């Protein structure tokens, strides 16, 4: 295969890689045996490093440094450093739980616990086995809402036994001992929450996790420690509440937790005296998340006795659907790895590869910055807008699948 005129030799690439220090000791990555092969084909440099067994964060940093060093060589058009893109590592799997849905809010008092509890009941109403874990150490209100009391019992093998109520399995930090949770702080609170969550004898399809409000330590460490499949945000329509919610949802996404949607609570009421509709907190909040439900101020929505209100059965269906719709983008070995590549070179590489696709084919790539308007940047290269699927795989890793859509044969028919 003929090489490009100015492309560097494999030896020149190895020389450049000698400027990258190995993580341990004084050696460079080549001398330390961390580069297993280098190939150069038509301006594309492929480096196969030996990074297995390394901490993922160290391996990622090293791969980035290798990419940056290779790009320093003249004549390099594209670099592939063949590293695996790990699936988001959200740590501990909770025994007896198939999936976890977190209910979160940017601020307290917006109805998060009400929604979490009623969502759990809504999911259970269609036959799912559902657990409810109240992790709100600063205001564990679930016991009061469901009219249950602690302390929790324990199973024969010494695990915390969830309280069965209304076909839900419920564990709350408020059920372990009087007022103690209110006194927990920082690491102690997180350890207690983590211990109780993993120790409980769950047997459920879905666990609804009522998080404390905000994005403090407990929330972040919980998202990082447990495999949360999706989050539902509760907000009022008040503009500042919606703004706070936007910032919180961004943080969840950065942690690789899909935001399934928002519940806009206390969205207004119909006056029983005059019959007029009022919206004291405003309406149509500016949210990027899908609005799964808009709930009025209505005391019947607080009741956990009798039938589950229709609004929460619908919410359960919507959450199930949103979980099923989550985008998953695979990262094949041939994916274009753009991490560490300068912005202009990225766009050129993606345009070149996308331009070479036949209709119906896809380009897979990995980046370390949140993708912008990919479709707009490529629209002049195809007869129809490309289909772009994005999945965040980690705190700064995004996988994309960009497909060139097959043109509609009817469009090509002329007389
Ligand atoms: N749609 C609604 N209509 C009427 N009352 C509601 C509605 N949603 C919540 N409430 C009431 O508002 C109060 C606060 O709700 P809730 O405890 O669920 O909020 P929270 O966000 O979990 O608060 P905290 O941050 O204190 O845990 C409760 O008294 C609850 O019954």
Grouping H, G, I as helix, E, B as strand and the rest as coil, residue 128 is: coil
Give the pLDDT score at 133.
Answer: 97
For residue 220, the CA-to-ligand 1 centroid distance in Å is 23
Has 109 been labeled as part of a binding site? yes
Give me the phi and psi of 344, to 5 degrees please: -65, -40
Ranges of residues in the chain with a pLDDT under 50 are: 1-2, 409-413
Q: Taking a C-beta distance cutoff of 8 angstroms, is the pair 149, 156 a contact?
A: no
Give the pLDDT score at 333.
Answer: 76
Give the pLDDT score at 373.
Answer: 79
ipTM for the assembly: 0.97
Give the pLDDT score at 140.
Answer: 85
| CB within 8 Å of 214: residues ≥ 6 apart | 105, 106, 107, 108, 248
- Cα–Cα distances (Å) from 388 to 46, 127, 343, 377, in that order, read 25, 35, 19, 12
- Compute the Cα dihedral for 48, 54, 60, 62 and give only its sign: negative
Nearest CA to ligand 1 atom 19: 111
Q: Ligand 1 pocket test: pick from 110, 114, 134, 211 the residue with the most ligand atoms within 8 Å of its Cβ.
A: 114
Question: How far apart are the C-alpha atoms of 112 and 153, rounded to whole Å?
Answer: 26
Give the pLDDT score at 407.
Answer: 59
Domains and CATH numbers, the chain: 1-84 (3.30.300.130), 97-325 (3.40.50.300), 331-415 (3.30.110.40)
Nearest CA to ligand 1 atom 1: 297
Give the pLDDT score at 1.
Answer: 44
Calculate ∠ Cα 393-399-402, nearest 5°: 155
Taking only the tens place, the pLDDT of each residue in 127-147 is 999 999 999 887 788 999 999
Q: Ligand 1 pocket test: pick from 104, 105, 111, 215 the residue with the most ligand atoms within 8 Å of its Cβ.
A: 111
Question: Which atom number of ligand 1 is nearest to the Cα of residue 297?
Answer: 3
Has 112 been labeled as part of a binding site? yes
Instruction: Establish how many alpha carbons lie within 13 A of residue 78's alpha carbon, considering only the half-sphere containing its beta carbon.
Output: 22
Give the pLDDT score at 391.
Answer: 78
Give the pairing type, strands 336-337 and 362-367.
Answer: parallel
Question: Which atom number of ligand 1 is nearest to the Cα of residue 266?
Answer: 1
Q: Taking a C-beta distance cutoff of 8 angstroms, is the pair 357, 383 a contact?
A: no
For residue 111, the CA-to-ligand 1 centroid distance in Å is 3
Tokens linked to 276: 């007029």
**To 10 degrees, the CA torsion angle through 18, 49, 42, 381?**
-120
Tokens linked to 120: 């759990």
- Cα–Cα distances (Å) from 35 to 26, 52, 71, 152, in that order, read 16, 12, 16, 55
Grouping H, G, I as helix, E, B as strand and the rest as coil, residue 36 is: strand
Give the pLDDT score at 394.
Answer: 65
Measured from the Cβ of residue 250, the count of other Cβ atoms closer than 10 Å reads 14
Number of H helices, E strands in the chain: 12, 19
Plot region of 67 (φ>0 → left; ψ -120 to 50 → alpha; else → beta): alpha
For residue 190, the CA-to-ligand 1 centroid distance in Å is 24
Using alpha carbons, select from 383, 390, 389, 386 the residue that is nearest to residue 411. Answer: 383
Ligand 1 pocket, CB under 6 A: 105, 108-114, 136, 139, 141, 213, 265-266, 295, 297-299, 301-302
Q: Ligand 1 pocket test: pick from 302, 304, 311 the residue with the most ligand atoms within 8 Å of its Cβ.
A: 302
Question: How far apart are the C-alpha atoms of 47 and 225, rounded to whole Å?
Answer: 33
Give the pLDDT score at 169.
Answer: 97
């Amino acid at each position: 295969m003929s090489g490009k005129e100015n492309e560097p030799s494999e030896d020149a690439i190895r020389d450049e890689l000698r400027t990258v220090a190995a993580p341990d000791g004084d050696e460079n990555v080549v001398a330390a045996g961390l580069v297993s092969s280098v190939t150069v084909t038509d301006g594309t440099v492929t480096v196969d490093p030996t990074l297995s067994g390394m901490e993922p964060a160290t391996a990622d940093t090293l791969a980035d440094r290798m990419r940056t060093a290779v790009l320093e060589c003249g004549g390099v058009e594209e670099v592939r450093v063949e590293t695996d893109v790990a699936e988001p590592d959200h740590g501990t799997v909770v025994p007896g739980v198939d999936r976890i849905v977190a209910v979160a809010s940017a601020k307290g008092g917006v109805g998060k616990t009400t929604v979490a509890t009623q969502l759990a009941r809504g999911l259970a109403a269609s036959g799912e086995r559902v657990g409810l874990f109240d992790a709100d150490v600063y205001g564990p209100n679930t016991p009061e809402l469901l009219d249950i009391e602690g302390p929790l019992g324990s199973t024969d093998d010494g695990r915390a036994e969830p309280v069965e109520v209304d076909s839900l399995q419920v564990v709350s930090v408020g059920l372990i001992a009087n007022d103690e949770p209110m006194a927990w702080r920082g690491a102690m609170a997180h350890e207690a929450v983590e211990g109780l969550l993993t120790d409980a004898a769950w047997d459920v399809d879905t666990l609804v996790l009522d998080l404390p409000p905000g994005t403090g330590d407990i929330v972040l460490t919980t998202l990082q420690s447990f495999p949360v499949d999706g989050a539902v945000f509760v907000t009022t329509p008040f503009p500042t509440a919606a703004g706070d919610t936007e910032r919180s949802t961004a943080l969840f996404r950065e942690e690789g937790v899909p935001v399934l949607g928002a519940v806009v609570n206390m969205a207004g009421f119909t006056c029983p005296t005059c019959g007029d509709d009022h919206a004291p907190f405003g309406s149509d909040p500016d949210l990027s998340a899908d609005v799964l439900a808009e709930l009025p101020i209505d005391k019947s929505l607080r009741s956990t006795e009798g039938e589950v209100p229709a609004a929460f059965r619908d919410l359960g269906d919507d959450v199930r659907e949103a979980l099923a719709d989550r985008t998953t983008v695979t990262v094949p070995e041939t994916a274009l790895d753009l991490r560490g590549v300068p912005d202009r070179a990225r766009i050129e590489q993606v345009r070149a590869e996308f331009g070479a696709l036949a209709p119906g084919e896809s380009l897979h790539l990995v980046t370390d910055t949140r993708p912008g308007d990919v479709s707009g940047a490529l629209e002049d290269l195809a007869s129809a807008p490309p289909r772009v699927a994005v999945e965040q795989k980690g705190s700064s890793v995004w996988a994309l699948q960009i497909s060139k859509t097959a043109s509609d044969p009817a469009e090509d028919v002329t007389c």
